[in-house]
Amino acid sequence: MSGRVITITSGKGGVGKTTTTANLAMSLASLEQRVVAIDADIGLRNLDLMMGLENRIVYDLVDVVEGRCKLKQAMVKHKDYPALALIPASQVRDKTAISPQDMITVANELKHAHDFVLIDSPAGIEWGFKNAVAPADEVLVVTNPEVSAVRDADRIIGLLEAEERPVPVRLIVNRIKLGMVRRGDMLSVEDVVSLLSIKLIGVVPDDEIIIKSSNEGVAATGRPKQAFEDIARRLMGEKVPFMNLDSNGGVLERFRKLFGGG
């Protein structure tokens, strides 16, 4: 059975693509999936940092593409999850070192021995983004509940829909602060979903835990961990109800109904 290639992208930078890729990869691995994560942000790599693998890197994606090593040699095995590996980005080369066709070749080769191939896309809509989405079977668009991030997500979704071979696109709303939503100071998840009119696959709270765990290169704990694990399960086809982020209850109840758990 062949695995699925899933690209995590956003349009706007800094909304949490890398955080999402790292945590989803670790969640999927902890659910006994065989996972390989590819850092397609050439020149600005940091997926290795967030997965705590920086000091184990020998070869990178550009080395593979340019034939300096075998694909296997560039795969950095995760220290806690034997079924999880990372293919790091090159720190020194720029993104034009790789073409969409290269990405397709690499992803196709990885698909056979893995359940999930996750690709962390760079921000923007240029070359790097095109590389990252070229081999995708599915795309996850990450956004924040902010007008500018939503606008850029919309742009990306439009580009994906206009592809020759459109693939399913689902939405992750990251950094939701329910206190602010309740006071009407922040777009709610419902607002974002209604603006973008695509299927929601996950909601991740804004939480200091993420900053701490990212810095340490380990998986998030607490509620963020739960949120990523829920997304992982939904990717695996389970019907998981949306987490109630509102400790007073209620707010998320509505879109739990609306979206039926993804």
Ligand X SMILES: Nc1ncnc2c1ncn2[C@@H]1O[C@H](COP(=O)(O)OP(=O)(O)OP(=O)(O)O)[C@@H](O)[C@H]1O
Residues that bind other proteins (CB under 8 A): 151-152, 154-155, 157-159, 161-162, 184, 195, 197
Contact between 206 and ligand X (CB under 6 A)? yes
- Contacts of residue 151, defined as CB under 8 A and 6 or more positions apart, other chains included, come to none
Q: Which is nearer to ligand X, 28 or 51 (CB)?
A: 51
| CA-closest candidate to residue 22, choices 251, 252, 214 | 214
With CB under 6 A as the contact rule, the residue among 210, 219, 235, 245 that binds ligand X is 210
171, 172, 214, 231: which one binds ligand X (CB under 6 A): 214
Buried b (16+ CB within 10 A) or exposed e, 64-79: bbeeeeebeebbbebe
Using CB under 6 A, which of the segments 30-38, 156-164, 186-194, 201-209 binds ligand X?
201-209
Helix (H, G, I), strand (E, B) or coil at 126: coil
Distance between CA atoms of residues 245 and 208, nearest Å: 15
Task: Give which of Mg ion, ligand X, other proteins, none residue 159 binds (C-beta under 5 to 8 Å, depending on kind).
Answer: other proteins
DSSP 252: T
18 interacts with Mg ion by CB under 5 A: yes
Residue 135 CB, nearest approach to other proteins (Å): 23
204 binds, among Mg ion, other proteins, ligand X, none (CB under 5 to 8 A by kind): ligand X
Strand 84-87 vs strand 76-77: parallel, antiparallel, or unpaired? antiparallel
Q: Of the two residues 26 and 149, which places its CB atom closer to other proteins in the complex?
A: 149
Which of Mg ion, other proteins, ligand X, none is residue 206 near (CB under 5 to 8 Å by kind)? Answer: ligand X
Q: Which helix (H) or strand (E) holds 30?
A: helix 17-30
Query: Is the distance from CB of 206 to CB of 177 less than 8 angstroms?
Result: yes
For other proteins, give the closer residue by CB, 158 or 179.
Answer: 158
Interface pick for ligand X out of 11, 16, 202, 262 (rule CB under 6 A): 16
State the Cα–Cα distance between residues 183 and 257, nearest whole angstrom.
Answer: 23
| Edge-to-edge strand list for the sheet holding 35-39 | 76-77, 84-87, 35-39, 116-120, 4-9, 138-143, 169-176, 199-205
Shortest spacing between CB 151 and other proteins, in angstroms: 5
Within 119-178, the residues that bind ligand X by CB under 6 A are 123, 174-175
Nearer to other proteins, 197 or 247 (CB): 197
* Separation of alpha carbons 208 and 212, rounded Å: 6
Binding residues for ligand X, rule: CB under 6 A, are 10, 13-19, 41, 123, 174-175, 204, 206-207, 210-211, 214
Binding residues for Mg ion, rule: CB under 5 A, are 17-18
